[in-house]
Chains A and B, each alone.
Chain A
Amino acid sequence: MSEHIEGESEVGSETAIGCDTDVQEPEGRRNFLSGAVALAVGALATLAPIGVAITTVLDPLRRSTKSNGMVLVTRLSAVPEDGSPRKFTVSADRTDAWATYTDTPVGAVYLRRVGDDVLALNVVCPHAGCFVGVADDGARFACPCHRSSFDLDGVVNDPASPSPRDMDELEVEVRNEDEVWVRFQNFLPGRDEKTPV
């Protein structure tokens, strides 16, 4: 009877071995080698999934906006003759990951007449990427986020303006007398120089 109880308690102490804090650490070169090999084998085994995972995570770095061809934005007659800016939506073909959209709105530009030419400015603020608006008096561009301010040519007109550069001017062409074509591009915000996205 008593033997039986002893036996039970032994089993109990065996199962509790995990909680034992006095585990003796094995020493010696042999153990060091086994340890090194164990680590190497483990690393090798996990390297494959981690490597593949990182490759796929980094995939967006390979992506770039497809050709920035000229797109027809509007007719010259729609651009106000008095030189005030007007917002136009730019539609183009766009591929977003798995989906391809034809003639979909991709952004917006301000167009205004300067003499006989047309000036095209991307509406995105070069400071932090907000949508720049036209101030109430119509005499300047004003960003609603951090108070960047630009004159109607898109040039920073206030020393306190946080924008590091002028509004992004886009290449524009008037074709067949009244078609306004724009090379629509976005640029990285927050830097002095225009860097296409």
Chain B
Amino acid sequence: MRDMLDWLDHRTGYRALLKGALYERIPGGARWRYIWGSTLVFAMVVQLITGLVLWSAYSANAQGAWESVWFIQNQMAGGWLLRGIHHYMAQVTIVLLVLHLMQVLIDGAYRAPREVNFWFGLILLLLVLGLSLTGYLLPWDQKGYWATKVATSIASITPVIGPGLQQLLVGGPEYGHHTLTRFFVLHAGVLPAAVALLIVGHIYLFRRHGVTVPKSKKKRPDGYFWPEQVLKDGVASLVVMATVLGLVLWSGGAHLGAPADPTEPYAAARPEWYFLFLFQWLKYFPAGWEFLAAQVIPGLVLALVAAMPIIGGWKYGHRFNLGVGAALLAGVVMLTWVARVEDGADPAFVQAKAEAEAMAERASELASAPSGIPVGGGLAMMRTDPLTQGPKIFAANCSQCHRFEGHDGLGGEPSDAPSAADLAGFGSRAWLQGLLDPERVATDEYFGATEHVRGRMVRFVQRGVAAFEPDVREDLEKVIMAVSAEAGLPGQAEMDAAQEADIAQGRLLMSSEEINCTRCHTFREMTDGDAGPALTGWGSREWMLGMLHDPTDRSFYGNRNDRMPSFGADEILSDAEMGLVVDWLRGDWTSQHTPEP
């Protein structure tokens, strides 16, 4: 063994290299305060390891990014932990960098001859921020998409080169596939290479100049990097790793929002917390100040920090630098805090956050369902989901007249009072029981605010049904079962199947002397009257689509139609949109859990 190592040393000289690396003399001995640089190197190594593996499962295109990240997060063994470590280590790195920088400032470790190394460090800080910014977009979720749009918008306001710069960053005039390929090459290629080079340079210069020993501690005996300082660095790295693991476990892993959608508002758009101060900063500048606020002032502040090694050489220069450093840190902390407080106190933002969270969960639920993610990707999946789109279509097109459980479908309250039936549970037995309740039929829940309040149906319920004998009432329940069974609601499927006999009886009772639905409504072969909407297939998908298409058709309201637009015939809604709102109203959507009857 020894011979082999001798041979290797003879050919490579590795022993001298190792000796140089390990037996670096530390004046005054090893100290806990020298750990920061090493923890940062450790953090970078962790990012390299986790990043490479993430890379092996990531697809940088607009129809594969969210999908592949979802797969890493939810399907791959240990994927959520891997991504969680990468995500939280990035944040811890920023904190460590700031601590490192603060220590350098306090110790005056930037002064001659260490100026160049200070600048190396500053560039490293900017590179790490660049890594964070580019990494935030890669999952291609709503959060990253909208936050990054702001960042590239800021790039575009640079005079003269701005528009070109934005176009180069984005990879074209609009966000798309090439935005991801370009951000990815920056995140996984260009920036890490630059970081690696600068770390090598940073450590080389650090070794050249040695540690900056505080004056008061110079009396202690000298020590060596190996093993005393390495032990301390190792312990510190372990603490960093434990912190990150703790964060991942506590948070349940890195967040993944709903797939990016340029046509869906995202009112919860915020940058990562360490950029929040810049976000808040922009709020204080009125129109016309964008360039100054977003680029000139931050640029000047950076220039001032870069000039610190020079300033530090002047009389009182070091104190000035400390003052500037403290003021900057205080400013950043304050702006971040104000941004948080303002958002927390803004009900619109809190609601937007909750909605974003609901969308994210829904996207994940759909992707986990047996149908999975379609070829069109996560966006196509969301756009064809009744539960996601139905309420929006309802709120925009139906809620001027109708309500859903009293609201507009999205939980809002339209300014005008309802003027048509509440459609929550339409087709169900409960909905019909309400319709046939003399107390309720003429309220806002049903026909209260429509022309039909003076119609024959309301009269029938208020006079006829109100006077039913108990045995007829029982028959009516069976009729309700029968009519509701026509809807074939997924949520009632089990109940309908179990009570097939009652339902069959109910069908016959529909033309009984007392109840006699078919006097006005057509039902299957019984076509005595067609004054009211057909009850054949009532509440089924086809029936509802027909109603939406053209309520003035003879099989629906005919010429008795009251204000209900012909959404299909007049091309107000597309077939796909009508299908989505109908499926949503019928509770017919993909779910992890079978809907409760």
Contacts and interface: CB of A to CB of B under 8 A. Distances in A.
Interface string A69-101: 000001101101000001101100000111100
A163 to B, nearest CB: 6
Contact of B265 (A61, A133, A161, A192): A133
B168 interface: yes
Interface stretch (B28-36, B226-234, B565-573): B565-573
Contact of A138 (B156, B176, B415): B415
B10 A107 contact: no
Contacts of A188: 156, 162-163, 166
A10 B436 CA distance: 109
Contacts of B282: 128, 146, 162
A191 interface: yes
Nearest to B392: A87
Given A130-B149, A144-B268, A160 B286 contact: yes
How big is the B interface, by class?
Answer: 35 or more
B266 A12 contact: no
B572 A87 contact: no
B176 A97 contact: yes
Nearest to B159: A191
Q: Most B CB atoms within 10 A — which of A77, A106, A163?
A: A77
B161 to A, nearest CB: 11
A164 B11 CA distance: 67
Nearest to B17: A19
A197 B287 contact: no
A15 B11 CA distance: 8
Nearest to A130: B269
Interface residues of A, number: 58
B178 A147 contact: no
B383 interface: yes
A105 interface: yes
Contacts of A162: 282-283, 285-287, 289-290
Interface in A109-145: 123, 127-131, 133, 136, 138, 144-145
A99 B177 contact: yes
Given A130-B146, A130-B149, A190-B154, A60 B167 contact: yes
A145 to B, nearest CB: 6
B157 to A, nearest CB: 4
Given A144-B352, A186-B174, A16 B13 contact: yes
B153 A128 contact: yes
Contact of B163 (A12, A97, A195): A195
A19 B573 CA distance: 78
8 contacts: A15-B13, A75-B570, A78-B573, A128-B154, A129-B152, A145-B279, A146-B279, A162-B286
Given A60-B172, A105-B261, A129-B149, 10 more contacts: A78-B573, A89-B263, A99-B177, A128-B149, A129-B152, A130-B266, A145-B279, A161-B286, A162-B282, A195-B163
